Structure 1
Amino acid sequence: MANENDYDGGEIKILEGLEAVRKRPGMYIGSTSASGLHHLVWEIVDNSVDEAMAGFCTEIQVTVHADNSITVVDNGRGIPVDEHPVKKIPTLEVVMTILHAGGKFDNSAYKVSGGLHGVGISVVNALSKRVVVQVRRDGNTYEMEFSRGKTVKKMEVVGTSDSTGTTVTFWPDDEIFETCIYDFDTLHNRLQETAFLNKNLKIVLTDEREATPHVEEFCYEGGIIDFVKFLNEGKDVPEAFKEPIYIEGKSDPDAPVAKMGEVEVSLQWNSGYGENVMSFANDIYTPEGGMHLEGFRTALTRVINDYARKQNLLKEKDANLTGDDVREGLSAVISVKLPDPQFEGQTKAKLGSSYMRALTLKIVTDGLVDYLEEHPKPAREIVKKAQQACKARNAARKAREATRRKSLLETASLPGKLADCSVRDAELTELFIVEGDSAGGSAKDGRRRDIQAILPLRGKILNVERVGDHRAFSSDTIQSLITAIGCGVTTSAGDGGDFDITKARYHKIIIMTDADVDGAHIRILLLTFFYKYMRPLIDAGYVYVACPPIFGIKVRNKIHYVYPNGRQPEDEILRDTIQSLGLNPDDNDEDGKAKDGKITKKRKGYTVQRYKGLGEMDPKQLASTTMDPKTRILQRVSIEDAVVADRAVRELMGSEVGYRREYIEKHAHDARFLDA
């Protein structure tokens, strides 16, 4: 029997081929959740986009088949199929089965590229139960088949072809992923973004999971100019800013390869108060920015201040405008291309290539100086908007300070009818933000008083998308939220204010609203507030949405609760649940009202109750279905969720009526149980 303290060579495991990927998939694709599942598509598409950036691909087709397999087709050069000089097997097999085998290392095949630098497609192979690759080149069509990283069908010629390109079809491995169901909106948004970043590249997305295949086509002649216009859809854009500013430039042609790069920037101001600047490096979104974003921000602030001084719009006694001031209401896209990008972290959230800061700074400075000199009217409006932002920022600072002083004074009774918990360890405590006094009362009675705090809100929170910081921080409801949570706020530009996440009084902040139209409205407003003023809480995973049941099916004396699943309409979920209980969903039903006024449907052998409001459940029901850590369902809010919510508020509650009309026409068939 081996001694447990023995540690020798036999303890060291060597993972051959792609076994390491299957053993630790999170190291390569981030997670095995839906995010990781979709990452497989991005890796294949990124290879096709690399061909487009190299000038060899004009169209990419992505198809979701009925069984949730994916096919990606491009008209690039096609993966090489000749014998690899070192491995002595087809190069296609090398690319598919060996990590770090690709054409992205010496800049000969690709001057710039995204993807995982020779890792991407082999990782997809490792994490798929089946992969079929067809390559069209040299007048032939070649095919190989793989399974879980292993070659199961050697390369063979299966036909002729008068075109070139690569077709990859893969079936994600259900032994690896928590779900193998692709979300159309996630695919749609990412592929549209890719088309924006690659001018004139045509991308076609087809979903064959519907009776009639759903097809979306993206192709943008204006590239990132169209992207910025898209970001500003639903917002009021003043006449002076109707046409986005566009700046592009390259490094000196004599610069060493390691210092080469291209910079492309488009920007446009709207009459709003937030900042929406998106940065990309080789088409990879860098949510934490990096050197290219630093260069852009520095150039923008410096050039606008210099212009304002030169035109005497800023007097000698006036302080310089800050970055927050000049970026208020700004939507911008920064896209850089470079041969060997250095990212901070495996997730590539931040560009670390230091020379891109100086290159971006120079190109944006030169382009913006020329624009302001050639367009005096928009230039003056830019300065004027920044000056107004400066005044509002000072007013917002005073409102924030007043809120903080008020918070410090209210030690005995925190605002907003907060029922606090007794435990003071933030890692253990939860704050439920509840809609209305009725639901708040049930939640207070049903909570765990040691770790769960309740903050009822009266009515709808202020729509912070349409007001400035000073107005938002003057709102009693928002002051209650800020004071209860305790960590302060950022400014709408995202990098000011007094935010300190270490002072957060709860590490779970749970939005708990009614399962109706008003509840959804309040939820989206709260998400927008957190995204705009407390985004680090979302990044840290502190913000959640509660999932209360939508129906209760009472059979004899037991209630079976029915929850939304995000995939089916509510009536279908109800029907499926009734059938799973061995009951007949087609029995004639009779609407009735219980003594407490709750709407019910009485059927043979059971009763169905629709929970339109949290207050319709007694404290014990609310606790067991929605609040008890052992039985509840919570959805953690991600930045992607918050961005979608932010855009929804902008479009559905902004000044443009057309977006609301389009949304209603598109989603009217999905309506269920609308309020009378």
Structure 2
Amino acid sequence: MYVGSTGERGLHELVFAVVGRAVNQVLAEGGDSIDVTLTPDGGVRVTDDAPGGSFEAAADSAGPGLEALLTTLHMGCRAPVDRRVAHVGIGTGLFVANALSSRLTAEVRCAGERRVQVHARGVAVTSPAAAGPASGHGTAIAFWPDSEIFETTRCSFAVLAERFRQIAFLNRGLGISLTDERPAGGTRAVRFRFPDGVRDFVAALAAETGSALDPGVIGFEREDTRMAGRMEVALLWSGSREGRVRGFANSRATPEGGTHLDGFRDGVAAAVTAYAREQRLLAAGDPGPDADRITDGLTAVVSVALDQPEFRGSTRGQLGNTEVRLCVAESVREHLADWFEEHSEQAAEFVGRLLRAGRQD
């Protein structure tokens, strides 16, 4: 099963798959926001404002239209020529959601018209048909997970909210809202939008521990054709020995690490060692800090978006693209070297503390 479980985890994966398609569509077509609603009758409605939604494939498009995505197994997703999509959901998302739902309704708003198509357990009940006028543009997918398949069809507001918050952090400026219409006491809702992306993510992680030090978050982003993708990195040094470094590939968490995190550690270690030798904090024969321990006291987020991500293991929790390690390492080393030069006082404090900690181990 593509969602991995018939329990609550699989139910949430089903929602994430549909939301992932919406995120990819918004980022690819220039939209702004996504709204997710949990309805009182057990349904989930995912609405986006991307202008490119259509039941039929456009003549100049290399990808399938919405109707084909709902009824035919398509691996992967269309990558626009000039803008990389986030790939936050599995490429088969709409097909799987349709097959595992007792009912699904797809709606497209375009050119002042609203068109709707209804499905039942993966089979089209109606053809796309005009359903009246509409303002704006975008796509809405409403689906009701099949109670004959899933052990529960009641989504957790907290689980969905945490994942949508994460997606918003990792896709700077994207707005995602979650509205729950199920509580008897009234509707509850949250909305996420982070103008500084992973910098805001690192600041939020640091705020949870209250251990951040001045001068705050250091961050950069860079495109690198060698890895056919871009990276966005943010970090800060904290007042504790505990490190909190989190990695993501195409907005998917990589709890088992991978080449992007290996490259991050390599880059930090190289920058710290070079600075320490330049400032004579390390003698010529002294070894530099161990790359495996260099993240002690660091809070960081390393996010890469790749045209062809390669994941290892059955849980796909580890990034395997070999070229990513060198690209991230070089970029981190160069950016930190510039930062050390511009912030000499803070650099001496941080690097000195890292070296002292290494000698005590």
TM-score by length of 2: 0.92
Measure, in 2, the Cα distance between the counterparts of 1:243 and 1:300.
17
Q: Which residue of 1 aligns with 2:332?
A: 364
Distance 1:301 1:64, change over 3 A: same
The one-character-per-residue Cα deviations of 1:17-44 (angstroms, maximum 9, x if unpaired) are xxxxxxxx2xx11211111110111111
Cα pair 1:50 1:112 within 8 Å, conserved: yes
Identity, % of aligned positions:
35
Provide the rounded CA distance (Å) in 1 between the counterparts of 2:118 and 2:294: 55
In the alignment, the residues of structure 1 paired with residue 244 and residue 260 of structure 2 have an alpha-carbon distance, to the nearest angstrom, of 15
Q: Which runs of 5+ in 1 are unaligned?
A: 1-24, 395-676
> What are the within-5 Å matches in structure 2 for residues 19-38 of structure 1?
25=1, 28-38=2-12
> Aligned partners of 1:187 and 1:116: how far apart in 2?
14
Aligned pairs for 1:239-388 (under 5 A) are: 239=213, 241-252=214-225, 259-316=227-284, 318-345=286-313, 347-388=315-356
Correspondence 1:51 to 2:19: no
Could you say what secondary structure the match of 2:299 adopts? Answer: strand
1:117 Cα shift? Answer: 5.4
Tell me which residue corresponds to 1:135: 108
CA distance in structure 1 between the partners assigned to 2:115 and 2:336 by the alignment: 50
Partner of 1:155: 128
Q: Which has the higher helix share?
A: 1
Cα distance in 2 for residues equivalent to 1:91 and 1:308: 56
Say which of 40, 56, 61 aligns to 1:82: 56
1:68-79 alignment, distance < 5 Å: 68-79=42-53
Letter in 2 for 1:141: R
Tell me the alpha carbon deviations over residues 202-255 of structure 1, each in whole angstroms, 9 at most, x when there is no partner: 11111112222111111111111110011111324354x341111221125xx6
> Superposition pairs for residues 221-232 of structure 1, below 5 Å?
221-232=195-206
> Is 1:389 aligned with 2:357?
yes
Query: 2-side partners of 1:216 and 1:117: how far apart?
Result: 25
Provide closer, same or farther for how the CA distance between residues 83 and 234 of structure 1 changes in structure 2, counting only shifts above 3 A: closer
Ranges of 4+ aligned residues in structure 1 off by more than 4 Å: 106-110
Give CA deviations for 1:415-466 in whole Å, capped at 9, x if unaligned: xxxxxxxxxxxxxxxxxxxxxxxxxxxxxxxxxxxxxxxxxxxxxxxxxxxx
- 1:209-224 equivalences under 5 Å are 209-210=182-183, 211-224=185-198
2:85 is paired with a residue whose SS is coil
Q: What pairs with 1:664-675 in structure 2 (closer than 5 Å)?
A: none
Where does the alignment leave 5 or more consecutive residues of structure 2 unmatched? none
Partner of 2:176: 203
The aligned length equals 356
2:35 maps to what in 1?
61
Q: Structure 1 pair 62/79, CA: closer, same or farther in 2 (3 Å)?
A: same
SS in 1 for 2:235: strand
Q: What one-letter code is carried by the residue in structure 1 that aligns with 2:65?
A: T
Task: Establish whether residue 114 from structure 1 lines up as the match of residue 87 from structure 2.
Answer: yes
Residue pair 1:107, 1:339 contacting (<8 A) in 2 also: no
Structure with greater strand share of residues: 2
Q: 1:212 to 1:289 in 2, by over 3 A?
A: same
Q: Tell me how large the CA RMSD over aligned residues is.
A: 2.2
Q: Secondary structure at the match of 1:163?
A: coil
> Which secondary structure state, in structure 2, belongs to the residue aligned with residue 199 of structure 1?
coil
Distance 1:47 1:82 in 2: 16
Q: How far has the Cα of 1:103 moved from its partner?
A: 4.4
Higher relative contact order (CA 8 A, sep 6+): 2
1:409-558 matches, within 5 Å, as: none
- CA distance in 2: counterparts of 1:83 and 1:314, whole angstroms: 62
Give TM-score, length-normalised by structure 1.
0.50
Counterpart secondary structure, 2:67: helix
Structure showing greater radius of gyration is: 1
CA distance in 1, matches of 2:224, 2:315: 27
